[in-house]
Amino acid sequence: MTTTQDRVESLRDQLVAWRRHLHRNPEVGFHEHDTADYIEAELRQMPGLTVTRPTATSVLAVLKGGKPGRTLLLRADIDALPIEEENTFEFRSQRPGAMHACGHDGHTAILLGVARLLSENPEEVPGEVRMIFQHAEEIGPGGAEELVMETGLMDGVDVVTGLHLNSQLPAGLVVVKPGAFMAAPDTVHITVKGKGGHGAHPEQTVDPIAVGAQVVTNLQHVVSRHVAALDALVVSITYFQSGTTHNVIPDTAVLMGTVRTFDPELRQRAPELIERVVKGVTEAHGAGYDFRYELGYRPLINTDWVAAQLKEIALETVGEEHYQDAQPTMGGEDFSAYLEKAPGAYFNVGSGSDEADSRWPHHHPRFTIDEESLVTGARMLHAAALRLTTPE
Ligand SMILES: [Zn+2]
Ligand SMILES: [Zn+2]
């Protein structure tokens, strides 16, 4: 066992204690006041860190290393979700209507652990490590965007990394992928404008429900007939609202959906492809439409060399039997905002196990993590901090 591993091992109980405190006291995006106060107080006990609050509910700790090197940004997101927790363990949420159901309590504990380890041995750290405890990952346009655009957080940053726990992977498994890793989650809003009337006389109306149904089925042609099979595109209409009762044809139907892409060019083309279908179908039936397209987080594209280094670090730190190349996912992440400004890579650490009953999906009221993943995450991120700050 390397010294890094010994040192993380000695932090095991502390990692669990931090995580459980945070789990008990969840706060949703932009309301993480107690969370940020807690993180700040913990960081202030660690020598050698400069601790500030870039925004009201985010915390930044900066460690200047003892020798020349790169400036690295490590990121953990700290926000919870508006979910009523259904777990019954002793450290379940004490706050009605809020829950750490995505693992951000774990991310925060892991980064606190890394801050502690780095602060204990600053002379071994090259360059500079900035540790950002980021607010509001779950709420678009996301806390990352605010930090990147409105604070100097990324000024002079050479490389960035961070991790997400993943309940769908076995606890302790590390997965990394170069290139496209997570999709851009954009949103489409469509209103089909028909002409209401009596349900017995559809010929006197323009039925927005019938037209809306055509829009939904025709949109699938965008995917199957206008985009090459290997260019990943998902169009899901997830909301269809119209009508009030059984014998009245309504005036309008409101549709919403999510559009997921990896490729920036395809992402740019998608609104036009979709609107063309909406326009064609509504016109063919004498209906009108409103169309609104909202861009979500950017696609998360990992920088190849950083992903390659993380893979090497994983092979050294957790070993071949706990490493896999990652598959791309259609989920979105505001970590992509940092990657607009500097090279970097985002990776996953598995947190699912039967023993911890932690295979529930993210955002589920029973979600939890196998706390062994805290140790794996801290090992990875600590090793990454030392490696990625080391100049070529
Ligand atoms: Zn989430
Ligand atoms: Zn998350």
* Ligand 1 center to 208 CA (angstroms): 35
Task: Please tell me whether 90 is known to bind a ligand.
Answer: no
Q: Which ligand places an atom closest to the C-alpha of 361?
A: 1
Ligand nearest 99 Cα, by number? 1
Same domain, 341 and 308: yes
Helices marked H in the chain: 3-10, 12-24, 33-44, 104-120, 143-150, 208-226, 264-284, 304-317, 336-339, 372-388
The reply to whether 202 and 264 lie within a common domain is: yes
Q: Among residues 27, 105, 128, 137, which one is catalytic?
A: 137
Residue numbers of the domain that contains 94: 3-181+300-388
Ligand 1 mean position, distance from CA 117 (Å):
27
284 burial type by CB count under 10 A (0-12 exposed, 13-18 middle, 19+ buried): exposed
Nearest to 328 by CA among 351, 307, 313: 307
pLDDT at 103: 98
Whether residue 251 sits in one domain with residue 191: yes
CA distance 300 to 371: 26
CA 332 / ligand 2 centre spacing (Å): 9
* pLDDT at 226 (0 to 100): 81
Please list, in sequence order, all residues whose beta carbon lies within 8 angstroms of the beta carbon of residue 36, skipping any fewer than 6 positions away: 53, 56, 57, 58, 59, 78, 133, 135
The answer to whether the CB of 302 falls within 8 A of the CB of 369 is: no
Residues 231 and 360 in one domain: no
Q: Name the active-site residue from 42, 77, 79, 105.
A: 79
pLDDT value for 1: 47
Are both 159 and 190 inside the same structural domain? no
The CATH number of residue 276's host domain is: 3.30.70.360
Whether residue 164 is annotated as binding a ligand: the answer is yes
Same domain? For 114 and 83 the reply is yes
Residue 53 alpha carbon to ligand 1 centre in Å: 23
Q: How far is the CA of 97 from the centre of ligand 1 (A)?
A: 16
**In terms of domains, do 246 and 333 share one?**
no
Q: Is 283 a catalytic residue?
A: no
Give the per-residue pLDDT at 153: 98
Residues 78 and 22 in one domain: yes
Alpha carbon of 102 to ligand 2 centroid (Å): 5
In this predicted structure, what is the pLDDT of residue 90? 98
The verdict on 169 and 196 lying in the same domain is no
CA torsion sign for 386, 175, 58, 26 is negative
263 belongs to the catalytic site: no
What's the pLDDT tens digit per position in 26-70? 999 999 999 999 999 999 999 999 999 999 999 999 999 989 999
Compute the CA torsion angle 4, 6, 11, 15 (nearest 10 deg).
70
Residue 102, pLDDT score: 97
What is the pLDDT at residue 172? 96
Which residues in the chain show pLDDT less than 50?
A: 1
Mark whether 311 and 204 lie in a shared domain.
no
Q: Do 283 and 316 lie in a common domain?
A: no
If asked whether residues 337 and 290 sit together in one domain, one would say no
Residue where a domain terminates, one of 294, 314, 335: 294
Task: Considering every ligand atom shown, identify the ligand nearest to the alpha carbon of residue 77 and give its number.
Answer: 2
| CATH code for the domain in which residue 28 is found | 3.40.630.10
Separation of 253 CA from ligand 2 center, angstroms? 33
Domain boundary at 259, 294, 329, which? 294
What is the DSSP code string of 92-131? Answer: S-SSTT-B--SSHHHHHHHHHHHHHHHHH-GGG-EEEEEE
Give CA separation, 50 vs 40, 44, 76, 117, 203, in Å: 10, 8, 17, 15, 72
Question: Can you read off the two tokens belonging to residue 230?
Answer: 């290997």
- Nearest ligand to the CA of 104 is 2
Q: What separation in Å is there between the alpha carbon of 363 and the centre of ligand 2?
A: 8
User: Is residue 135 part of an annotated ligand binding site?
Assistant: no
Q: Which of 244, 260, 294 is the last residue of a domain?
A: 294
Number of domains in the chain: 2
Nearest ligand to the C-alpha of residue 348? 2
Residue 265, annotated ligand binder? no
